[in-house]
Chains A and B, each alone.
Chain A
């Protein structure tokens, strides 16, 4: 009897479902960053707004990367529904706290997918995910550094204005 399922698709049902879940997470991240860009813009934090616009585009790119991988492997990529995007924030700092939380949850979710891939020896997907792990190093670094500006510079006086000006300057250039 032919092994039709394996002939059609490299991914197991579980990994395919997890990747589709990740597609949704990346889409949600993209929308959340867009909401942050809007909030920052409306509150006069122009540099942060630009920073979040860029992040939104990156998340969209991540989404497409996984989307195409699922299709390339013979799976069925599901265009996600994105709902419940928070659009109001209580403070400038809260925006960055949420940004970091979001990146952490993305990293955790990717780790969970990789753990499942190891369990079923899906080394092909692990290799694919490695790009994302490296990316998450940068993403978490940037989000953490941005939040740290609130401690380093302080919010008093022209503090928030300073913080805003410095957010876009954060770069991660570890060669490791």
Chain B
């Protein structure tokens, strides 16, 4: 018997990357993998939308201006999803940047689908 190490089936496509993290899409699983804050987390459509909403809704300005002595930590908890992030202010800014870039690329992908497949005769 041979011991063949089977590599995990990888069908990831990089959607967007920054120096702080990256987002990949799996067409086979219809989901995204978010590589950020030291972990790789899987998000399906609904959870990805909730993640975006949660991160976009954090009031960064208010956190910057807050004079409380408590550390600038924000917990990003997404209902009904398995993941939770505890992020510093800088990480929140970086996470937002990553997600914004990701959704711009996904929008671009939609335009490509329209132009290349859906609208071509």
Interface residues of A (CB under 8 A from B): 1-6, 8-9, 13, 76
| Binary contact readout B74-115 vs A (1 if CB under 8 angstroms, 0 otherwise) | 000000000000000000000000000000001001100100
A5 to B25, CA, bound (A): 12
Q: A8-B45, A76-B46, A76-B49 are in contact. Are A2 and B106 (CB under 8 A)?
A: no
Tally A-B pairs: CB < 8 A.
Answer: 27
B120 CB → nearest A CB, Å: 15
**Set of chain B residues within 8 Å of A76, measured between Cβ atoms:** 46, 49
**Set of chain A residues within 8 Å of B15, measured between Cβ atoms:** 1
B110 CB → nearest A CB, Å: 5
Determine whether the beta carbon of B27 is less than 8 Å from that of A2. Answer: yes
User: Within 8 Å of chain A (Cβ to Cβ): is B13?
Assistant: yes
**Set of chain B residues within 8 Å of A13, measured between Cβ atoms:** 49
Determine whether the beta carbon of A6 is less than 8 Å from that of B113. Answer: yes
Determine whether the beta carbon of B110 is less than 8 Å from that of A2. Answer: no
**Interface residue from B31, B46, B109 paired with A1 (Cβ < 8 Å):** B109
Determine whether the beta carbon of A4 is less than 8 Å from that of B113. Answer: no
User: Within 8 Å of chain A (Cβ to Cβ): is B6?
Assistant: no
**Set of chain A residues within 8 Å of B110, measured between Cβ atoms:** 3, 5-6
A85 to B37, CA, bound (A): 44
**Set of chain A residues within 8 Å of B109, measured between Cβ atoms:** 1, 3
**Set of chain B residues within 8 Å of A1, measured between Cβ atoms:** 13, 15, 25, 27, 109
Interface extent on B, as a size class? 10 to 19
A13 to B106, CA, bound (A): 13
A101 to B13, CA, bound (A): 52
The 10 nearest A-B residue pairs measured at CB: A3-B113, A2-B27, A8-B45, A1-B13, A3-B110, A6-B110, A1-B109, A4-B30, A1-B25, A3-B109
Cross-chain pairs A/B with CB under 8 angstroms, 27 sampled: A1-B13, A1-B15, A1-B25, A1-B27, A1-B109, A2-B25, A2-B27, A2-B30, A3-B106, A3-B109, A3-B110, A3-B113, A4-B25, A4-B30, A4-B31, A4-B45, A4-B106, A5-B45, A5-B106, A5-B110, A6-B110, A6-B113, A8-B45, A9-B45, A13-B49, A76-B46, A76-B49
**Set of chain B residues within 8 Å of A5, measured between Cβ atoms:** 45, 106, 110
A76 CB → nearest B CB, Å: 7
B22 CB → nearest A CB, Å: 14
A2 to B44, CA, bound (A): 13
**Set of chain A residues within 8 Å of B113, measured between Cβ atoms:** 3, 6
Residues of B1-52 at the interface with A, using a CB-CB cut-off of 8 Å, are: 13, 15, 25, 27, 30-31, 45-46, 49
A1 to B15, CA, bound (A): 9
